[in-house]
C-alpha cells in the first residue's frame, strides 16, 4: 500500500522559503517609491532594511529552487515553464541585488556621488520597479507549476487508502 | 568647480554602473531549451549538472535539449554501461528520447568517443 510521504521533502523547502522575499521585496519597492517624495527615515531606512532582507531571502529561495528543480523536472509535463521560472528568478535576484548595491552606495554617502544622490535613488527605484514586475511574473509561473502541473505536490491515491 | 580628476572618477563610476547593469541582464538571460519529438538525436554535451544528473545537449541543428536522467536511462560507451561521472562537456553523444508532454525523458545516452 502506498504511504503518505514525509512532509519535509527537499522540494518543499522552496515554497517554504520563497514567500518571504516576495513580500519583503515588493514592500521594499513601495517604501523606496514613497521615500522619493517623503524623506522620512521610516521610508528610506525601512525600505533599505526590507531590501537587504529580501535580497538575502531571494538568494536562499534560488538555492532551494535549484534543489527542487532536480526533483520536479522529472515529473512535471512541461519543464519549459520551469526553465522560464528559473531564468526569470535569476533576473529578479540580480535586479534587486543591483538595486541593493546602489542603495548601499547612497547609504555610504561617498563623496563622488553626493551630487548625484537623488539620481541614484531614482535609478534604484526604477530597477526595483522592473524587479517587482519580473518578480510577480516569476511568482505567477511558479504558481502555474504547482496548480497546473502539481510540481512538488503529493497526489493521493483515488481511494485515499494511505490515509486510513 | 569640479577638478578634472573628480569628473573622470564620476564618469568612470557611471560607466561601471552601466557595465554592471549590462552584465546583470546578460548573465540573467540564462539558457533557453527546446522541445523536440521522440526520436534519436546526435549532438555535443553543452553542460553537465552532476548533482541533478542532468545534461544539456546541443544538437546538430543547434537545438538545446535539457535531459534529466531517470532510473531507466541507459548510459553507455562502446557498448558498456558507464557511470554518469563519465560525461563531460564537449563530448559527442547520441540520445534516444521519449517526449512526454513537453518533457524529454532520455531512454538511452550513448557516448560516441
Does B24 touch chain A if contact means CB atoms closer than 8 Å? yes
What is the end-to-end Cα distance of chain A in Å, rounded? 11
Q: Residue written as cell 505536490?
A: A153
Task: From residue A89, give the alpha-carbon distance in Å to each of A82, A86, B25, B39.
Answer: 10, 5, 12, 32
Tell me the whole-structure pTM to 2 decimals. 0.84
Position B9 pLDDT exceeds 80: no
Position B69 pLDDT exceeds 60: yes
What is the torsion angle, in degrees rounded to the nearest 10, for the CA atoms of residue A141, residue A143, residue A149 and residue A150? 150
d(CA A9, CA B51): 17
Position B75 pLDDT exceeds 80: yes
Q: Residue written as cell 541507459?
A: B74
Whole-number pLDDT of residue A50:
98
- pLDDT tens per residue, range A46-103: 999 999 999 999 999 999 999 999 999 999 999 999 999 999 999 999 999 999 999 9
d(CA B24, CA A146): 28
- pLDDT tens per residue, range B80-102: 999 999 999 999 999 999 999 99
- How many residues would you count in chain B? 113
Residue A164 CB contacts under 8 Å (≥ 6 apart), including other chains: none
Whole-number pLDDT of residue B21:
61
- Chain B residue numbers with beta carbons less than 8 Å from the beta carbon of A113 are 10, 13
What is the torsion angle, in degrees rounded to the nearest 10, for the CA atoms of residue B47, residue B43, residue B65 and residue B97? -130
Q: Sort A95 into a burial class: Cβ within 10 Å, 0-12 / 13-18 / 19+.
A: buried
Higher pLDDT, B24 or A141: A141
Does B17 touch chain A if contact means CB atoms closer than 8 Å? yes
Position B1 pLDDT exceeds 60: no
Does B8 touch chain A if contact means CB atoms closer than 8 Å? no
Chain B: give the shortest CA distance to residue A78, in Å: 5
CB contact under 8 A, A98 and B103: no
Q: Sort A97 into a burial class: Cβ within 10 Å, 0-12 / 13-18 / 19+.
A: middle
Question: In the predicted model, what is the mean pLDDT of residues B28-36?
Answer: 78
- pLDDT tens per residue, range A131-160: 999 999 999 999 999 999 999 999 999 999
- Chain B residue numbers with beta carbons less than 8 Å from the beta carbon of A89 are none
Amino acid at each position: 500500500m502506498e504511504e503518505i510521504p514525509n512532509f519535509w521533502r527537499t522540494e518543499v523547502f522552496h515554497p517554504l522559503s520563497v514567500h518571504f522575499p516576495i513580500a519583503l521585496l515588493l514592500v521594499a519597492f513601495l517604501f523606496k517609491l514613497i521615500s522619493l517624495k517623503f524623506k522620512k527615515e521610516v521610508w528610506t531606512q525601512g525600505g533599505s532594511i526590507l531590501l537587504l532582507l529580501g535580497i538575502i531571502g531571494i538568494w536562499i529561495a534560488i538555492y532551494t529552487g535549484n534543489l527542487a528543480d532536480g526533483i520536479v523536472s522529472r515529473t512535471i509535463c512541461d519543464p519549459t515553464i520551469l526553465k522560464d521560472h528559473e531564468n526569470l528568478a535569476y533576473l529578479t535576484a540580480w535586479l534587486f541585488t543591483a538595486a541593493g548595491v546602489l542603495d548601499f552606495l547612497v547609504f555610504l554617502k561617498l563623496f563622488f556621488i553626493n551630487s548625484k544622490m537623488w539620481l541614484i535613488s531614482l535609478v534604484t527605484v526604477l530597477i526595483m520597479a522592473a524587479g517587482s514586475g519580473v518578480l510577480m511574473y516569476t511568482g505567477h509561473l511558479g504558481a502555474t507549476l504547482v496548480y497546473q502541473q502539481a510540481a512538488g505536490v503529493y497526489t493521493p491515491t483515488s481511494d485515499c487508502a494511505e490515509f486510513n | 568647480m569640479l577638478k578634472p580628476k573628480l569628473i573622470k572618477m564620476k564618469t568612470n563610476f557611471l560607466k561601471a554602473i552601466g557595465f554592471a547593469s549590462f552584465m546583470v541582464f546578460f548573465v540573467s538571460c540564462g539558457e533557453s531549451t527546446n522541445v523536440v519529438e521522440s526520436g534519436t538525436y546526435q549532438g555535443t554535451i553543452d553542460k553537465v549538472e552532476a548533482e541533478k544528473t542532468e545534461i544539456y545537449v546541443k544538437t546538430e541543428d543547434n537545438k538545446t535539449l535539457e535531459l534529466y536522467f531517470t532510473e531507466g536511462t541507459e548510459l553507455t560507451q562502446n557498448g558498456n554501461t558507464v557511470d554518469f561521472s563519465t560525461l563531460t562537456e564537449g563530448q559527442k553523444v547520441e540520445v534516444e528520447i521519449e517526449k512526454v508532454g513537453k518533457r524529454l525523458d532520455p531512454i538511452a545516452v550513448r557516448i560516441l568517443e
